[in-house]
Amino acid sequence: MHTMSDLKNRLHEELAIKNACQVEGINADPAIFEGAGLGDQYQEQIQTLFDYNLHNHTGVVLPVCFYTPGGLRVGYRWNDRSPYKLRKEGNHFILYHERKELFPVSLKKRPKYYSLKTSDGANMNQVATHNGEGAIFVSYSNECFLKETGHDCKYCNINYTHDTYGEEHGVSWKYPRQIGETAAVAYQEGAKHITISGGFIPERREIDYYFDVAEAIQEHTGLEDFNGTAVIGAPLDLSILERYKDAGYRTIAMNLEIWDKNIFNSVCPGKVIHCGGWDHWVKALERAAVVFGHGRVRSNFVGGMETKKSTLEGVKYLASQGVIAYAGAWIPNLGSEYEGHRSPLPEWHLDVAYKIVDIFRGAGFTYEQLYDSSASADGLWNDIYKIEEERLPVFKGEPSVV
């Protein structure tokens, strides 16, 4: 007889494989997805902000993710050099490590709203992508003005994504009404959190736009509190943070990206020049936690661009201030200045994830707070909470694909 402890151990093993797949990518011939129902029954990738695949896939339909037998969501990142391989055997997709079979996987069902259009004819799947567990994500624009000044973050490929997939995937400015209409339909289908993000734009324009978007979402969903996260650059005028809360956003995010100040200055020159630098960014996060509350502010570190010690110091300090800071694995994106580099080994990232959860628990962060502050609910730290708190469908005998 298998015990609950056995099930949790198996899920932690699946988590280690998930982590490795997301760091190393997935090696698969795209032809295996032909006739598999991508873009119809199952959800396809829509590139609306960053592209995490390591090969150009113009004209190629790829899955957005797959699920392990225990229900862990694994983001699909195509890399034909990865030792993790996906093969189609009959009507099933099987994950391998080299020649060793690991387990069968399931594709994510396509949301119904992906087939709908807004009142002005925009494809809703290009307005808001579905990240699983009721989390939807809006990239209102890939218009990052740092490109014009030569101050792009060196790990970022936001402009490459726009230039490569713009016409195919509708990478263009999203209007508030389009977002409001799409959110309304997605929420009717079970969505319960929305993240609004995009490229770097001038502060004054950003404030006005986010307010208009919040108003449109409230109007079309009928929800005053629509559980939204506004992802912004650290404002020079910190009093502006209160206006985002007044506008209706439950949480706010400002991604510091790197804790080591010297590396930050080198890798994120635009954030130094236009957002007051590292010290001001930290002050903005501290102030935001006062305004929005403990566990209602999020930041992100690019896991692997600095030492493990430095990253964890940043996570721990921000947690002490009430800020939830993640460290998603760095993927050396195509089109970024770090294209061709590589991230640390999967074991490095897995160890960081478990240590981050220890910090989060010490700070009193709940799973609900992690969910509300995340752009998706599939981070390793989210998964560890879900395993230990028995939140996955497998604990209830329910289907894993949602």
Query: pLDDT tens across 308-348, in order?
Result: 999 999 999 999 999 999 999 999 999 999 999 999 999 99
The answer to whether the beta carbons of residues 66 and 109 sit under 8 Å apart is no
- What H or E segment, with its residue span, contains residue 196? strand 193-197
Residue 87, CB half-sphere, CA atoms under 13 Å: how many?
Answer: 13
Residues 222 and 219: their CA atoms lie apart, in Å, by 5
**Confidence band, pLDDT 50/70/90 cuts, at residue 2:** low
- Residues 6 or more apart whose Cβ sits within 8 Å of residue 246: none
Mean pLDDT, range 190-218, rounded to an integer? 89
On average, the pLDDT of the chain sits at 94
The answer to whether the beta carbons of residues 365 and 319 sit under 8 Å apart is yes
Map out the domains of the chain as residue ranges.
Answer: 4-107, 112-396
Q: Is CATH 2.70.98.90 the classification given to domain 112-396?
A: no
- Which of 190, 199, 55 has its CA nearest to residue 111? 190
Mean pLDDT, range 254-263, rounded to an integer? 97
Q: Which of 134-148, 204-218, 233-247, 277-291 has the lowest mean pLDDT?
A: 134-148
In this structure, the number of other CB atoms found within 10 A of the CB of residue 127 comes to: 27
- Residues 6 or more apart whose Cβ sits within 8 Å of residue 34: none
